[in-house]
Structure 1
Amino acid sequence: MSVVATSMSFENTDKVEVLVSIEDAVAQQMALHVEKRRLWFPNDLMPADAELDAAHDGELARIREAARGLPDTARVAIALNLLTEEGLPHFHRLIASHLSNSGPWRDWNNLWTAEEDRHGCALRDYVRDARLFDMGALEKLQYRYIEAGFNPEWEEDPYRLLAYTSLQEKATQFSHANTGRLCAPIEAMGQRVLAHLAGDESRHYQFYRAVFGAVLAQDPNRALVSLLKVALNFAMPGHAIGGYDDMSEVVRRAGIFCARQYQEIVEELLAYWKIGSLTGLSTIGQQAQEKLMKIPARLARMADFQDAKSTVRDFGFDFIYGRSVRI
């Protein structure tokens, strides 16, 4: 049985007890995940074995030459994706502290972390071998991000963590997949690496979506309130990265990830969890339900507003040697 943190509020302690009650479902979802996945490793994509021959060196030279043609919008997106993936230590800590460090939750956290750890490794191997960045500048950003931490205001609420990961895994899938599409016509290996990452994010999304669904079935009123708090204030984990606002604005303007994609994610989850048709709710639950169902329209208005007010501007980033990105 999971250990409940004694520092939690009584309400959150009750929520952890709900998590204990669905541990069998967590174990089942984890088994399903393992059954569906195809385990891969960074060296499968960008091999660096000691006995590689001259043909491999020629392939690296080809990748490097083709990558020269990648637009800086794609480079900014790749940098943001990589920095976000390198924030993995923060998320392992958050999952362990908000859920449990024993039983199926611990097993999932360890498995998820092992799979996610390959993402930063694979993407870093690619950007290093393709020579995409001023790596010293990028490494300083990464160091400062890890040093600054990622401490969302979830008030030790485990439901909020599960709601957030459901949204965030899908958002990251969008970001990797759409960045890969920018790369594909110019340098195919970048798209291949990002497709592997996006595939993992899709499967992780399916796990968290199913588990939060189990929470909704057990404790719908409080789950809806937690979901509402997260959905209204969602921010990608990299928002603590220096220069994040400018990087995310380039990504938005390039159509890689913006309010419209987030709207699509919210709509998909509201439909999957059948939020609009839940019955027997308390007054607080009904209020949260009504507000949740209005979020997609709000996001559509936000996207329209952002598009209408956007004018072409220049962005500069040290990791691409201060070049101007005009978009």
Structure 2
Amino acid sequence: MTTAIVRPRTSEGWSDAQLLHALEEVVETELNRHLKVAKEWMPHEYVPWSDGRNFDGVLGGEAWAPEQSKVSDIGRISLVLNLLTEDNLPSYHHEIATLFGRDGAWGTWVHRWTAEEGRHAIVMRDYLLTSRAADPVELERLRMQHMSAGFEADNSHSMLHSVAYVAFQELATRISHRNTGLHAGDPVCDRMLARIATDENLHMVFYRNLLAAALQLAPDQAMRAVADVVTGFRMPGHGMPGFERAAVRIAIGGIYNLRIHHDDVLLPVLRHLKVLEISGLGAEGLRAQEEIGLFMGELADQAQRFDERRAAFLARRRNT
């Protein structure tokens, strides 16, 4: 439950500074809830250390080869993509710390979120290298390329855009991790990613509840932010080397695609917040609400066409 919010009596829009101050109590409530339900876990407990051995190089170990991996091809592609996304954490921390600040409940949450996301990168990298699930040289070169480019949010118009984006993005990340584990072919990997997905779900709940409060506080502005994010959504790793090619493989493999994006990410958040049912909006809020409804209808049609093309492609592949 979020803290009750009283709407302003003025028709003027809220500035980011005013919104940060007005939502501080909600952030504190959600932070306290998160700290109560989040369970401590240790990355080293999820890594099969006994499988590890030296690589070639200064220690004169064995060179990496694809057949050494227990993980499926699609699992490896998705794992690397997910890890490279987590690797860019310094850029994400800078983005949200600049928008939300480093003081009070906002600052405490920013640092806590960063620490938890960092744990995800640690365990995934340790797993990938110890189990020889990925080429360590390629992985490091991709990390250097991706982090050297940095990250800038697509929807950096306002703090409300950032809140709306992470409400959907954290759920998308949870789904991606969970499906990667299910398709990886290694129960150790599946268990690790299920643990990470649990964290991502808690992050989603934090931001979703914060967005609910924002819709109550500044309905027109928040609705516009939701519309912009929903209609222009891209995963944070979209700028990494080879992202488009990897995204196609992941879509066909059933880890993350248009159908999943519509059914399992956008729709659940929009329904939970009752975005299309909110009344009392001004002209801008109504326009944004209508945009969301029209877009979701179009996306459902696109997802149906994708399903048909994917089914036909998989059928052809089975027959060759």
What TM-score range do you get, normalising by the shorter chain?
Answer: 0.7 to 0.9
The one-letter code of the counterpart of 1:290 is E
Instruction: Report the equivalent of 1:294.
Output: 294
TM-score, scaled relative to structure 1 = 0.83
Q: Secondary structure of 1:240's match?
A: coil
The answer as to whether partners of 2:155 and 2:165 remain within 8 angstroms in 1 is no
Q: Distance in 2 between matches of 1:47 and 1:70?
A: 13
In the alignment, what sits opposite 2:81? 80
- The percent identity for this pair of structures is 31
Alignment of 1:277 with 2:284, yes or no, is no
User: CA distance change for structure 1 residues 90 and 13 in 2, over 3 Å: closer, same or farther?
Assistant: farther
Instruction: Structure 2: give runs of 5+ residues left out of the alignment.
Output: 1-11, 54-64, 315-319
Counterpart contact for 1:77–1:179, Cα < 8 Å: yes
The aligned residue for residue 6 of structure 1 is: none
Query: Equivalent residue for 2:126?
Result: 125
CA distance in 2, matches of 1:307, 1:76: 21
In 2: Cα distance, 1:267 partner to 1:294 partner:
13
- Counterpart for residue 267 of structure 2: 267
RMSD: 2.3
Secondary structure at 2:256 match in 1: coil
Distance 1:65 1:149 in 2: 29
| Structure-to-structure mapping, 1:46-125, within 5 angstroms | 46=47, 57=50, 68-125=69-126
Q: Equivalents in 2 of 1:159, 1:230: separation in Å?
A: 10
Q: Tell me by how many angstroms 1:33 deviates.
A: 0.5
| 2:240 is the alignment partner of 1:235 | no
Contact 2:259/2:306 (<8 A) preserved: no
Counterpart in the other structure of 2:212: 213
Deviation digits for residues 220-254 of structure 1 (CA, Å, limit 9, x no counterpart): 00111111111111000111100000011111000
* Count of residue correspondences: 291
Change (3 A) 1:102 1:12: farther
1:154-198 deviation line (CA, Å, top 9, x unaligned): 344101110110010000000000010112xx3211111111110
Which one is further off, 205-214 or 36-45?
Answer: 36-45
Instruction: In structure 2, give the amino acid aligned to 1:276.
Output: L
- The residue number in structure 2 matching 1:202 is 201
Once the two structures are superposed, the pairs formed by residues 168-207 of structure 1 within 5 Å of their partners are 168-183=169-184, 186-207=185-206
**Partners of 1:102 and 1:31 in 2: how far apart?**
16
What is the aligned partner in structure 2 of residue 39 from structure 1? 40
Query: 2 CA distance for matches of 1:78 and 1:47?
Result: 16
| 3-state SS in 2 of match to 1:239 | coil
3-state SS in 1 of match to 2:237: helix
SS at match of 1:225: helix
Whether contact under 8 Å (2:156, 2:162) holds in the other structure is no
Measured in 2, the distance between the counterparts of 1:240 and 1:206 equals 26
1:16 CA drift (Å): 2.8
Change in CA separation of 1:66 and 1:139 when aligned onto 2, cut-off 3 Å: closer
The answer (yes or no) to whether the contact 1:19–1:215 under 8 Å persists in 2 is no
